[in-house]
């Protein structure tokens, strides 16, 4: 009802909406647009740990699986 999973498939009465979310405004835009970009932060984090020359794929791997990515980077650093 808040809109975190997108728009509802149909109308919902204002009374029911108010019962569920109170005075909170429902999300009317694409919910993912409310998430702050994080990719640059992961790139900076890897650079600060000494991993230079990383690819976009490396950054995405680190974002999804940080511990596994670091282990992989360490094993393949040679």
Which DSSP string do the residues of 64-78 spell out, in sequence order? H-HHHHHHHHHHT--
Q: pTM of the full predicted structure?
A: 0.62
Residues 9 and 20 in one domain: yes
The length of the chain is 78
Structure tokens at 13: 């009465």
Confidence category of residue 60, pLDDT binned at 50, 70, 90: very high
Looking at residue 8, its pLDDT comes to 87
Nearest one of 77, 35, 25, 69 to 53, comparing CA atoms:
77
Are residues 77 and 46 both part of a single domain? yes
Tell me: pLDDT of 78 over 90. Answer: no
Number of domains forming the structure of the chain: 2
Alpha-helical runs (H) found in the chain = 14-21, 39-48, 56-64, 66-75
What CATH code is carried by the domain that includes residue 45?
Answer: 1.10.10
Longest Cα pair distance anywhere in the chain, in angstroms? 64
40 and 78 fall within a common domain: yes
């Amino acid at each position: 009802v808040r809109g975190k999973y997108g728009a509802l498939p149909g109308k919902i009465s204002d009374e029911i909406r108010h019962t569920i979310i109170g005075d909170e405004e429902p999300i009317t835009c694409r919910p993912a647009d409310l998430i702050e970009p994080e990719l640059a932060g992961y790139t900076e984090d890897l650079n600060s740990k000494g991993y230079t020359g990383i690819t976009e794929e490396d950054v995405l791997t680190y974002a999804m699986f940080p511990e596994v990515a670091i282990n992989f980077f360490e094993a393949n650093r040679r």
